[in-house]
A and B are shown apart, each in its own frame.
Chain A
Amino acid sequence: MSLSEYFELLFTDYTLRTITLGTAVLGAICGMLGSFAVLRKQSLLGDAISHAALPGIAIAFLITGTKDANVLLLGALVSGLIGTFWIRGMTTKTHLKSDTALGLVLSLFFGFGMLLLTFIQKQPNANQAGLDKYLFGQAATLVEKDVQLMVIVTGVCLFVLLLFWKEFKMLLFDADYTMTLGFNTKFIDILITFFIVLAIVLGLQTVGVVLMSAMLLAPAAAARQWTNSLGIMVFLAAIFGAFSGVLGTAISASQNNLSTGPVIVLVAAVFVLVSFIFSPGRGLLFRELRFRRNRRDLQLKKTLQFMYGIAKTHENISHPHAIRILNNFQGFTKTSLRALEEKEWIELDKQLWSMTDKGFDAAQDLYNQQANND
């Protein structure tokens, strides 16, 4: 099936539509909440939480014996939250640095989860197969009920986000200050973290434990490149996330059912790559161009200033001077002289240059600017 066939099918095929809608909504909620994780420099937290959720899935299965996604995800939610609170506890109550605590919880919970999965697989029970899909996710197993849950959670999350927008924003920027104004920063913090855990758990079925944190971080990291406003960043991250979901599903469905989760994450990674290179404000490309232009400008101004030094000693500022006398000055080339002429700052006549009135004024402005900056 080609990509265009896929998009045609989207309107007729119920299953495909469900899956696409699911991955889109998932991408959107992950993007929104990922913005907060990125801005709090808590990139590792998502990784730790998603790995911490694994034993919960296994235990939920062992207790109930069902493979109903909602039951298993409830288990994931519980163990994800336990992991998160362990991390918080460890960093606030002991000397451990937060990355140590994150690493510890991640490996401890994940190791335990893998142990349980192996144990379950060894059981002589026909029902056990398929739990390992939570490792790398399997979007194809999404059913309408799952998507409904995602939509509801996303709606609630959006509502809470709008309700506490000013509190969230201030906490992200300056937690100490927020506290002095009388806000319960612990409550705000727990609220954000709770929704991050919720988003991660929702994504486990689709993207899986291992790649979930990329789903959380990539759209947000990409969005950060394009804007300097928190609101727009969250919005863009949601859009990027949703697009990653849709495109990833489309590509994986049209290419012999490549595993959906990894493809979605790869698409999100492309968003990141493109944003880091091409975004106008912060992107590498434009930064390099700006840098070069500034350097060129600076060189021109240096030359102009040197000329100004010579010209102002003469009564007639446009008195011609030999280009030769610039020789002991490093900052000029034939091109830069021509650039100066283009700006009508100087006039060139064979081996001579002379400053124009415009050039004289520009040089004087430069002088004053420098004096003001000091």
Chain B
Amino acid sequence: MIDRKLAVSVDDLTVAYNYKPVLWDIDLQIPEGVLMAIVGPNGAGKSTLIKAILGIIKPIAGSIAIYNKPYKKQRKLVAYVPQKGSVDWDFPTTALDVVMMGTYGSLGWIKRPGQKEKKASLEALEKVGMLSFKNRQISQLSGGQQQRVFLARALVQDASIYFMDEPFQGVDATTEIAIINILKELRKAGKTVIVVHHDLQTVPEYFDWVTFLNVKKIATGPVKDIFNDDNLTKTYGINYKVAVNK
């Protein structure tokens, strides 16, 4: 494990909104090729951690490296699936249009997407099982379908590292299985996948790596070594034995 390449490296990261620290002195090394869950209670700073890594939020201290270089130089290696609730799904656009946005980064300013971009987007839609909904207005998709569209948008970026904020939120069992299969495929292809995850029951089944977070980093490492009652209790502040092993 030690000599595995580091995909993401976070050093002494501290983030505050209006002077209230939300992340405190986080050190986090994520090796290449893991499928990692970030777990922690609501308000623990999971979304904030991802946003800080992606440069959406400026930290008050600390540094972040993607394959040893700052995010700005590496952003083509990184794809992002924001929390579904962070956008207005009543926006007048179609599923295909949203997925095409995934190609805008490599297009750069002003250039319009062409046939090549459209083809890649359609393929991504197919991969998430949404091809037949390509022209559907996004407000007329179910929660699970919207989530798939977001996933397709990230897939079309063809990145090396994927950050996903609660991709299983509000999806049905079928969609959850479809999504996790895609994530596992990504890992098989050598990609690094980092997922904010809420359902503690499924952590051992879905993920091979886990980070416990609650303002501070509680622990990070292989699921089989550190996913235990001790760390869960430290993170959630209550005894989790019963909850997880029920």
Contact = CB atoms under 8 A, between A and B. Distances in A.
Contact of B55 (A163, A164, A167, A179): A179
B198 interface: no
Contacts of B110: 163-164, 166-167
Nearest to A233: B92
User: Which of A167, A224, A228, A229 has the largest number of chain B CB atoms within 10 A?
Assistant: A228
Interface stretch (B34-42, B80-88, B217-225, B238-246): B80-88
Given A172-B91, A180-B55, A228-B137, 8 more contacts: A164-B109, A170-B101, A170-B104, A173-B91, A173-B93, A173-B98, A176-B82, A179-B54
Contact of A228 (B54, B86, B92, B113): B92
Interface string A151-187: 0000000000001111101101110111111110000
Contacts of B80: 176-177, 180
B105 interface: yes
Contacts of A43: none
Given A173-B87, A173-B93, A227-B92, A181 B112 contact: no
Contacts of B75: 180-182
A224 B92 contact: yes
Given A179-B56, A180-B75, A183-B109, A174 B93 contact: no
A39 interface: yes
Nearest to A170: B101
B114 to A, nearest CB: 12
A230 interface: yes
Contact of A173 (B55, B56, B101): B101
Q: Which one of B78, B86, B88, B109 has the highest number of Cβ atoms from chain A below 10 Å of its Cβ?
A: B109
Which A-B residue pairs are the 6 nearest by beta carbons? A181-B105, A228-B137, A180-B80, A180-B54, A174-B87, A228-B92
A183 B108 CA distance: 8
A176 B56 CA distance: 6
A226 to B, nearest CB: 10
Contact of B51 (A39, A176, A183, A228): A176
A336 B91 CA distance: 39
A177 B109 contact: no
Contacts of B105: 180-183
A233 B153 CA distance: 24
A166 B93 contact: no
Contacts of A183: 104-105, 109
Contact of B93 (A163, A167, A169, A182): A169
A38 to B, nearest CB: 10
